[in-house]
Amino acid sequence: MRKTIVAGNWKMNMDLEEGLSLARSLDQYFRNTPSGKTEVIICTPFIHLTGVSDIIKGGSIKLGAQNCASEVSGAFTGEVSASMIKSTGAEYVIIGHSERRSYYHEDNDMLSKKTGIALDTGLNVIFCCGEVKDEREAGVHFNIVKCQLEEGLFNLDAEKMEKIIIAYEPVWAIGTGLTATPEQAQEMHKHIRSLVRDKYGNSVSDNMTILYGGSCKPSNAAEIFSNPDVDGGLIGGASLKKDDFVAIVEAG
Ligand code: PEP
């Protein structure tokens, strides 16, 4: 069964107490008002993981990190490994966010390595893909996403691929207030699902959750999520405000 998911990406926002306070209010809300068929994930900075994990224990919210190291363990000062993330109680990790690709020069090879390590550790991966503005304007966006998936993900076997959630995030829509139209989102999601189908067959592609990300907000979420190949969203800015995030989850 294909899952509907709304995942918040807190990015590098909120100190520890602010983050725990947001987690407490989300946890309280979703314990009293279950999110129905929509799974709710919050992807916090590393330092929040353990505290948030304690808060959400026994509730319905799931926890994720926003990145992990490309090595398993050892002398890699400042890095955080997939197994450290797992040990906090987190079940998900975002890999390949466009901010990691552009500011930290993470290429498809590195993302493929991180994805393999995260899956071997038992984490589920939210794998991001998406084109920049120039690529869309040049009409090469379908090819760009194809290449990101082929090089970053398609070395996985079918069993591992079932643990992947793909997030299509057009880079020109992230944090800009510009959103893909529902038609633009649907045509890219359909393209992604057909690439997965060509490589892995109907069962993997039909069951794959494909999220949309890029300036999703309460006013546009329902229309975007209503497309047949859009299975929820990865939410940046709006995930920092409890009421906005709840409204987006409820649009799922
Ligand atoms: C994101 O960073 O994953 C994202 C979708 O950001 P925003 O919702 O702020 O555009």
CATH number at residue 57: 3.20.20.70
Query: Does the annotation count 187 as an active-site position?
Result: no
Are 57 and 89 in contact by the 8 Å Cβ rule? The answer is yes
Out of 5, 95, 215, 217, give the residue to mutate to test ligand 1, the one with the largest number of ligand atoms within 8 Å of its CB.
215
Given 97, 141, 189, 191, which residue is catalytic? Answer: 97
* pLDDT at 112 (0 to 100): 98
For atom 2 of ligand 1, the residue with the nearest CA is 236
Whole-number pLDDT of residue 36: 83
pLDDT at 78: 97
Rounded distance between C-alpha atoms, residue 79 and residue 73, angstroms: 9
Centre of ligand 1 from the C-alpha of residue 100, in Å: 13
CA angle 199, 134, 239 (to 5 degrees): 75
**17 in catalytic set:** no
**For ligand 1, mutation pick of 5, 44, 169, 220 (most atoms within 8 Å of CB):** 169
Cα-to-centroid distance, 12 and ligand 1 (Å): 12
- Contact between 210 and 193 (Cβ < 8 Å): yes
Q: What is the pLDDT of residue 177?
A: 84
Q: Quote the number of domains for the chain.
A: 1
Mean pLDDT taken over the chain = 97
Environment class of 222 (CB within 10 Å of its CB; exposed 0-12, middle 13-18, buried 19+): middle
**Site of tokens 């190949």:** 229
Which of 133, 235, 244 for mutating ligand 1's site (highest number of atoms within 8 Å of CB)? 235
Mean pLDDT for the stretch of residues 246-250: 97
Instruction: With a cut of 80, say whether residue 35 has pLDDT above it.
Output: no
pLDDT confidence of residue 212: 97
pLDDT at 213: 97
Categorize the per-residue pLDDT at 178 as very low, low, confident or very high, splitting at 50, 70 and 90: confident
Question: Of all protein residues, whose CA lies closest to atom 4 belonging to ligand 1?
Answer: 236
Counting from 1 in the atom list of ligand 1, the atom nearest the Cα of 215 is 10
Boundaries of domain holding 64: 4-251
Task: Compute the average pLDDT of residues 153-159.
Answer: 97
Give me the pLDDT at residue 1, please: 82
Ligand 1 neighbours by CB, cut-off 6 Å: 9, 169, 174-175, 213-216, 234-238
Give percent above pLDDT 70 in the chain.
100
Contact 20, 48 (CB under 8 A): yes
Is residue 34 predicted with pLDDT exceeding 90? Answer: no
